[in-house]
Structure 1
């Protein structure tokens, strides 16, 4: 069962209403959907593929297979000749790009390309937030303002560059363990060929099919709270694969650590009490992240209850 694929260009044409409905369905019924014709130039996306692949090959691959924790632990596990799995580690090479971080220095064109890409992704995220505002029936700009903690540009925008190398024993380790995302809107540029990303839909794990140069969108825990449970953050994972290196570039538009998050007042007033039966609390995002860091791979409901108890 493929996840929804939405032509974002039709948002500005005769099929706007239909496209808005498709996005609402993606948020409400799936928590994941793919955008095509999203406005990010194909030429830029091809450059992103090139520089991230080169960066992994030149600056990271050797180190991963020589000294990384997952490789070391997997070798030890196989040496024991049992059938156990690695439970608390991911078969993933990963680093974070933010405006404040040092970026990989050896790959020609990496910083220029990824700076341009991040600018485009941030604009797309803000467009999507306005679509969500409209679909939820709340004031235009509401989600962005909440994430920024008011006026200004205080929200966090980070990009996680991951590669999942071919694994000699994919049955013994997960590429990335099942979790929901802590933050707001996640925009993923995944591999065109090597799959492995799965979401939990109706109790079954469903593949997120690779589509060339699409952007996969999912909503995090903070969108679930702001929407009063109408949009759910969804469990997802990455399977380790025996062949091919999977590219995964996930950009996160998250609240400022100082931002206060709570269900939108209009939604509490409009929706019946059953929608908010979980009782989403009001909290500071930084406090939520302190809990999430310790409980990322555990059920999300206790995280909400933890920050509720702390306030």
Structure 2
């Protein structure tokens, strides 16, 4: 099995090409929860600059990572193993160096062109996310802009658009720790600019873990829990994980187009006795932050209950 690769430029082609792209995205959302976009409109020159500044930023952080808790934990396990002790893989920690970018936090000041490059990149990715959401609206039979309006309470609140910059350094014992534990994403539409040389990202499809193949200059799209709810389960958020690698330093830049924390989310095509409740996204995040790596269905059940039950 191969994660779908879609030429997004054909969306602006003739009727036949456009229909083909619409169907491919619908299939990617419904059958996989993951697909890759090529010819997506984000300039290659900008993507090259993103690679450069993110890699340089990690080099300034590498020494700190080597002194971090995951490294110390793994070194302790290896030492215990040398002493002949039985050791078990770490199941509550990730072999990952991360920092977050959004409009309200402090960004790294070095390298000097980091802020300018990432502001430009985030603006392009936000536009791309909104185009993808419009395709989802049309495929679901919704009015154009429905998903964006749901995420913003009809424009009363700004959506949350965050970017997670990750590196997965070479791991000497990938059998003892994960790169990133299996999870679904809490939010809406996620756009990932992943490493085009070092693999490791996998999506769960039909009970099997399938590689999301590295592809130069592609943007990987996956649907989060809120798209599952809005589509009343037609588009389901997909379980995914990152495996640690012995060789190579995997770069990953994931941008999340999520609802405003104040936005009320509910199925757009509600049916009596449906599986998904109506709730405020901020309440869902309170639950998700405690249960990220657990089954997602209990999260929906938790926000179905009165808010006092969440405390």
TM above 0.5: yes
1:152 to partner: Cα distance = 4.5
Measure, in 2, the Cα distance between the counterparts of 1:169 and 1:45.
31
Q: Partner of 1:47 in structure 2?
A: 49
1:184 to partner: Cα distance = 0.2
Correspondence 1:288 to 2:284 = yes
Aligned length: 301
Measure, in 2, the Cα distance between the counterparts of 1:211 and 1:39.
16
Q: Partner of 2:109 in structure 1?
A: 105
Measure, in 2, the Cα distance between the counterparts of 1:192 and 1:27.
22
Residue of 160, 165, 188 corresponding to 1:156: 160
TM norm structure 1: 0.95
Residue of 25, 41, 45 corresponding to 2:27: 25
Give the conservation status (yes or no) of the 8 Å contact 2:157–2:262.
no
TM norm structure 2: 0.95
Correspondence 1:308 to 2:304 = yes
Measure, in 2, the Cα distance between the counterparts of 1:151 and 1:299.
32
Give the conservation status (yes or no) of the 8 Å contact 2:157–2:263.
no
**Deviation per residue, 1:23-63 (Å, 9 max, x gap):** 000000000000000000000000000000001012x1010
Q: Partner of 1:122 in structure 2?
A: 126
Q: 4+ runs of 1 displaced by more than 2 Å?
A: none
Q: Partner of 2:239 in structure 1?
A: 235
The unaligned stretches of length 5 or more in structure 1 are none
What is the SS of the residue equivalent to 1:290? helix
The unaligned stretches of length 5 or more in structure 2 are none
Measure, in 1, the Cα distance between the counterparts of 2:3 and 2:110.
37
Measure, in 1, the Cα distance between the counterparts of 2:242 and 2:5.
20
> Superposed, which structure 2 residues align to 1:59-208 within 5 Å?
60-66=61-67, 68-81=68-81, 82-152=86-156, 154-208=158-212
